[in-house]
């Protein structure tokens, strides 16, 4: 809840008479910064977040320190599960065949309001909570997407909603989904395939950002696929004629993919990494692997690109007398937006108010801007962006999209790091482990809790969201490239 310093000063002035005190408090509630006090049910949720802010910050910093990669977030996942079970949530862990995935529920019956949590880090972006680049020697990885904040705020919103439900006898179920491996778009894909969202009425989410607002647009569809080539080993100098290089096949496939880029639509993205290219130069590589992300604004275009990639893989194998097989780890459609839910989140984000930063925090962020190109008007955003009339598709992909085709879904973002910081950068890691990120985290927790409470107490929002969902779902479709019986991977590589 956004607080006005003037309001606090006047209301707690012991020299003021009781009548004057109450009068001024009432007036200033409506004429301060434009952010009103929340109604009673939301205030109960707000109170829990306010009283437990220190605990939530500690949770964030512990997950930030652990910086566990996707499908390896054992301690991070357990920290959130412990917090939820400590507040009488029933926790079901290891869901959808992933040890670090869980579902925690409080209440019973309808409606069922889901809130998402993520907690995986990124490889190779270790960073201390300082305003200059400095890796943490004890851990090579880092939270350069702020998922330590994401998981903590989502969990906080669910627990805060639980206390509002208890105090005001609100019926229904609030459910926190612990979603692993978002960075490789794994967790929610297989959780959705397992039917874990099928009985939800609404799902809410958020993400750290350099601005505060609501995600009202779509996202890029994406397929994550690994191609494995198999050849024959041989001494690269003594008997190269007996070898068949799997690495040659990978390189030929990549050449074909790179030439194809010129003849694809502007919204497409193809990026790859060679995850296995052999062990020594004097041995013809008998096995090699290349990992691709294929993206486009519509899933049908991703399907087209994938079919062409299959032809290239087969051609590369034919040219090198190797064999090839492939495995699709993940497949995400474009996000299905929901206009009524976006409006609800905007309303409650404005009620919560944007995070406000100290001069010290602004100087910290400004110092992290020094390596970036451009002239920056400010270092940290302290306003709420307007809901766009014609939201454009984002350039990223998300496994939230898989949920959005199952149930009405919407999300918001709050300022948690330096303005214009590149995605997956050390600047984001640094801000996520200190007060800048945590202020955005608490704002997100409030806005999500307010929205969940309003969905419970004003079911007309659910009806509007479902009508919009059914309309958009009927107008489009997508076909997953993942085989129906396929289980979630046990590891990223």
Cα-based distances in Å from 210 to 64, 425, 436: 18, 12, 11
Same domain, 372 and 242: no
- pLDDT of 11 > 70? The answer is no
* Count of domains for the chain: 3
Same domain, 198 and 230: no
What is the predicted pLDDT for the residue at 51? 98
| 368 within domain boundaries | yes
What is the predicted pLDDT for the residue at 393? 87
- pLDDT tier for residue 476 given thresholds of 50, 70 and 90: confident
Same domain, 64 and 176: yes
What is the predicted pLDDT for the residue at 9? 32
Q: Which domain holds residue 22?
A: 1-37
- pLDDT tier for residue 493 given thresholds of 50, 70 and 90: low
pLDDT tens by residue, 395-419: 999 999 999 999 999 999 999 999 9
What is the percent of the chain with per-residue pLDDT over 90, rounded to a whole number?
Answer: 88
Residue 229 contacts residue 245 (beta carbons within 8 Å): no
The helix/strand/coil state of 20 is helix
pLDDT tens by residue, 94-149: 999 999 999 999 999 999 999 999 999 999 999 999 999 999 999 999 999 999 99
Among 460, 446, 453, which Cα is nearest to 174's? Answer: 453
pLDDT tens by residue, 277-330: 999 999 999 999 999 999 999 999 999 999 999 999 999 999 999 999 999 999
- pLDDT of 366 > 60? The answer is yes
| 268 within domain boundaries | yes
* Cβ count within 10 A of residue 53: 16
Among 200, 34, 37, which Cα is nearest to 103's? Answer: 200
* Cβ count within 10 A of residue 195: 10
Beta strands in 370-489 (DSSP E): 409-415
- Which residues contact residue 232 at a Cβ distance below 8 angstroms, ignoring those fewer than 6 apart? 242, 243, 244, 284, 286
Final residue before a domain boundary, out of 306, 331, 356: 331
Among 115, 113, 111, which Cα is nearest to 172's? Answer: 111
| 244 within domain boundaries | yes
Average pLDDT, the chain: 93
Same domain, 338 and 326: no
Same domain, 278 and 227: yes
Query: Over 93-108, what HEC string results?
Result: ECHHHCCCCEEEEEEE
């Amino acid at each position: 809840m956004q607080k006005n310093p003037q309001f606090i000063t006047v209301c707690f002035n012991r020299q003021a008479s009781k009548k004057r005190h109450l009068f001024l408090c009432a007036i200033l509630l409506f004429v301060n910064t434009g952010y009103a006090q929340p109604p009673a049910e939301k205030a109960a949720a707000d109170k829990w977040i306010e009283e437990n802010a220190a605990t939530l910050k500690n949770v964030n910093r512990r997950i930030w320190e652990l910086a566990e990669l996707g499908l390896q977030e054992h301690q991070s996942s357990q920290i959130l599960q412990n917090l939820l079970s400590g507040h009488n949530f029933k926790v079901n862990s290891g869901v959808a065949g992933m040890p670090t995935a869980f579902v925690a529920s409080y209440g019973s019956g309808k409606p069922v309001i889901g809130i998402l949590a993520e907690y995986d880090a990124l490889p190779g972006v270790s960073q201390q909570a300082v305003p200059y680049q400095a890796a943490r020697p004890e851990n090579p990885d880092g939270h350069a997407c702020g998922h330590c904040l994401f998981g903590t705020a989502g969990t906080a919103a669910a627990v805060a909603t639980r206390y509002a439900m208890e105090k005001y006898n609100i019926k229904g179920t609030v459910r926190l989904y612990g979603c692993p491996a978002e960075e490789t778009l794994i967790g929610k894909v297989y959780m959705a395939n397992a039917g874990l969202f099928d009985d939800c009425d609404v799902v809410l989410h958020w993400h750290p950002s350099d601005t505060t607002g609501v995600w009202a647009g779509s996202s890029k569809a994406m397929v994550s696929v690994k191609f494995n080539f198999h050849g024959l080993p041989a001494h690269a100098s003594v008997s190269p004629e007996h070898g068949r290089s799997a690495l040659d096949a990978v390189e030929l496939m990549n050449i074909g993919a790179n030439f194809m880029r010129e003849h694809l639509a502007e919204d497409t993205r193809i990026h790859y990494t060679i995850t296995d290219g052999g062990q020594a130069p004097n041995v013809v590589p008998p096995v090699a692997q290349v990992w691709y992300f294929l993206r486009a604004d519509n899933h049908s275009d991703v399907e087209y690109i994938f079919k062409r990639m299959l032809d290239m893989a087969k051609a590369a194998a034919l040219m090198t007398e190797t064999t090839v097989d492939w495995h699709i780890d993940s497949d995400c459609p474009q996000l299905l937006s929901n206009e009524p839910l976006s409006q609800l989140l905007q309303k409650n984000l404005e009620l919560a108010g944007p995070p406000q930063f100290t001069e010290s925090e602004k100087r910290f962020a400004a110092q992290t801007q020094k390596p970036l190109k451009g002239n920056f008007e400010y270092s940290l955003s302290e306003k709420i962006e307007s809901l766009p009339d014609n939201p454009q598709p984002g350039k990223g992909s998300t496994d939230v999209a898989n949920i959005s085709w199952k149930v009405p879904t919407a999300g918001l973002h709050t300022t948690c790091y330096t303005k214009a910081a590149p995605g997956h950068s050390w600047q984001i890691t640094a801000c996520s482990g200190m007060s800048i990120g945590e202020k955005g985290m608490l704002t997100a927790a409030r806005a999500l809790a307010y929205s969940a409470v309003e969905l419970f107490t004003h079911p007309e929002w659910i009806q509007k969201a479902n009508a919009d969902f059914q309309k958009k779902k009927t107008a489009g479709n997508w076909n997953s490239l993942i085989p129906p019986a396929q289980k979630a991977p046990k590891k990223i590589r």
